[in-house]
């Protein structure tokens, strides 16, 4: 292993930094949350690998995160965050930290920059904060508050790597390269990672203990199950002779850990005794004040999902969600419940609906992988990867924490896949999610409007994909019509005219509902008071073709021949707004057909020669327009044809 290596960052660093600085500056607080979240991940990885390889635990007994602000002395201005997690080898330091942009980011940034309407590189408005955590490394955040960062790391001991050495990754905020070298201090860490931030002049407020405590409380305290300690100074009064003794920092730390303050169960008399002695010492002329390091535990002991939902505030749910799922945006809705699976496993869970879909959700419409079902057993994180079939595609954006009481702790991936509880979990999550959505649709118009905007198409996809839940999903789908902005199919049926035995729709992707409302195909129906669904999204037609009927009533494309009004097939007439009876219309059609026969014959010949249409007929379907091209009843509509040819392209 070379002692000292210099490497260039892999991505377009300058460009990325510019975007991050422009967009993220006012949110730079999140650097601490990102560091703690990585530390938590590293501790989770350690715990998981210790199940199969107990050796990884050697070097450091505790699994925790510590934060230390250095305010004076030579190293003043540094903030040091340390974890005793899995650590990184020098190769991992290079590969994990040397890539400021994650895979796929380059293309995303180009797209984002070209879509950026503000033109100033502030992409938060356009894409939401969420895209940063998916595309930008935590180091980019760090460089908003620090001129320089040093990451010292000592990988956990494994059979493959039995004698790891501590290495340092070091880089300045404006540099295009980074250094990796053996830590000159030796293996000081025991195990894990120590991140030292050399804070910028305008970021020294992050040394303030109260600021740190507030940030951790807000962003990390509920989501991090490992203890987080903050080094703080406590003033002690000691007699002068003793004052020369150096406080033993490291020892003090583990002492406090073993006997956290809250648990010290002292008798009141004993406490009074101690106070009395302290007072004596304070008054003595020989007394001197010294500062002693103390480790304060910052995060609450009871994770949020274990608490009674009535005692958890909205803000607590929101910050928990943001920290746990690395979303900069708040969740749109959530449901928190406990239950018993059919197989006798009791569990608690929170299901969150995010406020947006991933940018690439629609790029792989049928791929179904979710990494956001965090399964825990008795508070211990087990996995967030429940395999390919964890949830159907339509629901794979849902974010879940679930904590089961009686699963074996050392369940491996393979056994997980066959576990009865996990097989039921999918159904439980979907049922609760659909209940939550149905309730919001009923009770909260404003929230529902947002959900519909984000997930409207997802529900259509679901109705096509998820037969088991089809009816519930169809109930969530809404369409614009010629009569109103939004209707469910149930509402449509309530509003149908007597004798109407079809759900009418007109589909043309790319056209707005407003444009469709003015279409020639709607004129007659509209004039007669029929409601027509206006479908402007490609998925609408896929939805209708797959769902086929709702409450036994089929769909009728009004742009196809054979359109029926009520029970009869109404034949042709060219009269405006005519409400004539069918017999009269039939007769009239005969007259008109005869009268226009030469024209029809000529048109027929023309269009057939050019292959433009199959037939030309006189029709009663138009009210104002003089002609329309319609699809054959059995054929694809122009819209579906467009969709099919684009998906084959």
Q: What is the footprint of Mg ion within residues 27-86 (CB under 5 A)? A: 38
Question: Which residue reads 């509880």 in tokens?
Answer: 421
Pick between residue 42 and residue 375 the one whose CB is nearest to ligand ADP: 42
Asked if 322 interacts with Mg ion (CB under 5 A), we say no
Q: How far is the CB of 414 from ligand ADP (least distance, A)?
A: 24
Pick between residue 169 and residue 347 the one whose CB is nearest to Mg ion: 169
Q: How far is the CB of 354 from Mg ion (least distance, A)?
A: 18
Pick between residue 40 and residue 500 the one whose CB is nearest to Mg ion: 40
Q: What is the DSSP letter of 499?
A: T
Task: Write the DSSP string, 25-51.
Answer: GGGTTHHHHHHHHHHHHHHHHHHHHHH
Do the annotations mark residue 439 as ligand-binding?
Answer: no
End-to-end CA distance of the chain: 50
Q: How far is the CB of 321 from ligand ADP (least distance, A)?
A: 16
- C-alpha 43/C-alpha 196 separation (Å) is 18
> Count of residues binding Mg ion (CB under 5 A)?
2
Q: How far is the CB of 41 from Mg ion (least distance, A)?
A: 7
Do the annotations mark residue 413 as ligand-binding?
Answer: yes
Do the annotations mark residue 104 as ligand-binding?
Answer: yes
Is 409 in a helix, a strand, or coil? coil
Burial of 447 (0-12, 13-18, 19+ CB in 10 A): middle
Pick between residue 85 and residue 392 the one whose CB is nearest to ligand ADP: 85
Considering CB distances under 5 to 8 angstroms, the limit depending on partner class, which of Mg ion, ligand ADP, none binds residue 197? none
Q: How far is the CB of 96 from ligand ADP (least distance, A)?
A: 3
Do the annotations mark residue 232 as ligand-binding?
Answer: no
- C-alpha 441/C-alpha 437 separation (Å) is 6
Q: How far is the CB of 319 from Mg ion (least distance, A)?
A: 17
Run of H or E including 320: helix 314-324
Asked if 141 interacts with Mg ion (CB under 5 A), we say no
Per the structure block, which two tokens stand in for 315? 């803000």
Q: Tell me the pairing of strands 399-404 and 373-377.
A: parallel
Q: Which stretch binds Mg ion (CB under 5 A): 135-143, 349-357, 427-435, 540-548?
A: 135-143
Pick between residue 34 and residue 508 the one whose CB is nearest to Mg ion: 34
CB-based contact 327:354 (threshold 8 Å): yes
Asked if 193 interacts with Mg ion (CB under 5 A), we say no
Q: Residue numbers of the site for ligand ADP (CB under 6 A)? A: 34, 38-39, 41-42, 83, 85-86, 88, 96-97, 137-138, 193
Asked if 220 interacts with Mg ion (CB under 5 A), we say no
Considering CB distances under 5 to 8 angstroms, the limit depending on partner class, which of Mg ion, ligand ADP, none binds residue 23? none
Question: Which residue reads 């999550």 in tokens?
Answer: 429
Instruction: Give the CB-side neighbour count of residue 283, counting CA atoms within 13 A.
Output: 6
Q: How far is the CB of 193 from ligand ADP (least distance, A)?
A: 4
Pick between residue 151 and residue 398 the one whose CB is nearest to ligand ADP: 151
Do the annotations mark residue 457 as ligand-binding?
Answer: no
Angle between helix axes 638-648 and 538-547 (nearest 10 degrees) is 110
Pick between residue 92 and residue 236 the one whose CB is nearest to ligand ADP: 92
- Integer angstrom CA distances of residue 76 from 32, 199, 247, 462: 18, 9, 19, 56
Considering CB distances under 5 to 8 angstroms, the limit depending on partner class, which of Mg ion, ligand ADP, none binds residue 39? ligand ADP
Q: How far is the CB of 323 from Mg ion (least distance, A)?
A: 11
Asked if 224 interacts with Mg ion (CB under 5 A), we say no
Per the structure block, which two tokens stand in for 384? 């967030």
Handedness of CA 73, 78, 84, 86 (dihedral sign): negative
Pick between residue 133 and residue 536 the one whose CB is nearest to ligand ADP: 133
CB-based contact 530:504 (threshold 8 Å): yes
Q: How far is the CB of 43 from Mg ion (least distance, A)?
A: 13
Handedness of CA 351, 352, 357, 358 (dihedral sign): negative
CB-based contact 625:520 (threshold 8 Å): yes
Pick between residue 97 and residue 520 the one whose CB is nearest to ligand ADP: 97
Other C-beta atoms lying within 10 Å of the C-beta of residue 377: 20
Residues at the interface with Mg ion (CB under 5 A): 38, 138
List residues forming the annotated binding site for ATP: 34, 38, 83, 88, 96, 102-104, 193, 413
């Amino acid at each position: 292993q070379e002692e000292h290596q210099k490497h260039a960052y892999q991505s377009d660093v300058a460009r990325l930094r510019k975007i991050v600085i422009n967009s993220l500056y006012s949110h730079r607080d999140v650097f601490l949350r990102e560091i703690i979240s990585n530390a938590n991940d590293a501790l989770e990885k350690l715990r998981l690998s210790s199940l199969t390889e107990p050796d990884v635990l050697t070097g450091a007994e505790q699994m925790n995160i510590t934060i230390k602000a250095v305010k004076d002395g030579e190293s003043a201005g540094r903030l040091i965050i340390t974890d005793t997690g899995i650590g990184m080898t020098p190769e991992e330091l290079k590969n994990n930290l040397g890539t400021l942009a994650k895979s796929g980011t380059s293309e995303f940034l180009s797209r984002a920059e070209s879509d950026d309407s503000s033109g100033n590189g502030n992409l938060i408005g356009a894409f939401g904060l969420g895209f940063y955590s998916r595309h930008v490394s935590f180091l980019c955040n760090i460089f908003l508050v620090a001129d320089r960062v040093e990451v010292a790391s000592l990988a956990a001991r494994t059979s493959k790597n039995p004698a790891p050495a501590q290495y340092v990754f070091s880089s300045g905020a404006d540099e295009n390269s980074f250094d990796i070298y053996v830590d000159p201090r030796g293996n000081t860490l025991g195990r894990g990672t120590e991140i030292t931030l050399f804070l910028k002049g305008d970021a020294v407020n992050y040394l303030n203990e109260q600021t740190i405590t507030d940030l951790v409380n807000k962003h990390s305290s509920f989501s991090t199950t490992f203890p987080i300690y903050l080094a703080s100074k406590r003033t002690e009064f000691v007699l002068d002779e003793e004052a020369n003794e150096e406080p033993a920092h490291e020892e003090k730390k583990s002492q406090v850990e073993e006997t956290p303050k809250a648990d010290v169960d002292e008798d009141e008399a004993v406490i009074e005794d101690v106070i009395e002695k302290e007072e004596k010492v304070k008054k003595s002329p020989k007394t001197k004040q010294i500062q002693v390091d103390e480790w304060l535990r910052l995060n609450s002991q009871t994770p949020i999902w274990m608490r009674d939902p009535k005692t958890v505030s909205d803000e607590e749910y929101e910050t928990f969600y943001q920290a746990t799922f690395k979303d900069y945006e708040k969740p749109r809705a959530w449901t928190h419940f406990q239950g018993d699976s059919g197989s006798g496993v009791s569990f608690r869970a929170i299901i969150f609906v995010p406020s947006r879909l991933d940018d690439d959700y629609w790029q792989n419409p049928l791929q179904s992988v979710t990494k956001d079902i965090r399964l825990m057993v008795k508070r211990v994180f087990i996995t967030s990867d429940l395999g390919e079939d964890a949830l159907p595609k339509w629901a794979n954006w849902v974010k879940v924490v679930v904590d089961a009481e009686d699963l074996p702790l050392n369940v491996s991936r393979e056994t997980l896949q066959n576990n009865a509880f996990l097989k039921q979990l999918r159904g439980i999550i979907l049922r609760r999610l659909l209940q939550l959505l149905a309730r919001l649709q009923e009770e909260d118009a404003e929230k529902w409007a947002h959900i519909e905007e984000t997930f409207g198409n997802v529900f259509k996809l679901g109705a096509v994909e998820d037969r088991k839940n089809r009816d519930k999903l169809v109930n969530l789908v809404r369409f614009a019509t010629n009569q109103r902005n939004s209707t469910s199919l149930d509402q449509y049926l309530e509003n149908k005219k007597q004798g109407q035995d079809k759900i009418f729709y007109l589909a043309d992707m790319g056209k707005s509902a407003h444009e469709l409302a003015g279409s020639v195909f709607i004129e007659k129906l509209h004039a007669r008071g029929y409601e027509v669904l206006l479908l402007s999204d490609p998925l609408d037609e896929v939805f209708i073709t797959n769902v086929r009927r709702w409450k036994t009533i089929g769909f009728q494309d009004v742009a196809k021949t054979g359109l029926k009004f009520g029970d009869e097939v109404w034949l042709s007439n060219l009269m405006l707004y005519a409400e004539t009876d069918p017999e009269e219309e039939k007769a009239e059609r005969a007259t008109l057909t005869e009268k226009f026969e030469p024209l029809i014959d000529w048109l027929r010949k023309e269009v057939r020669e050019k292959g433009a249409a199959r037939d030309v007929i006189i029709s009663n379907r138009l009210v104002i327009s003089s002609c329309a091209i319609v699809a054959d009843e059995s054929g694809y509509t122009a819209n579906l044809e467009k969709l099919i040819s684009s998906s084959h392209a």
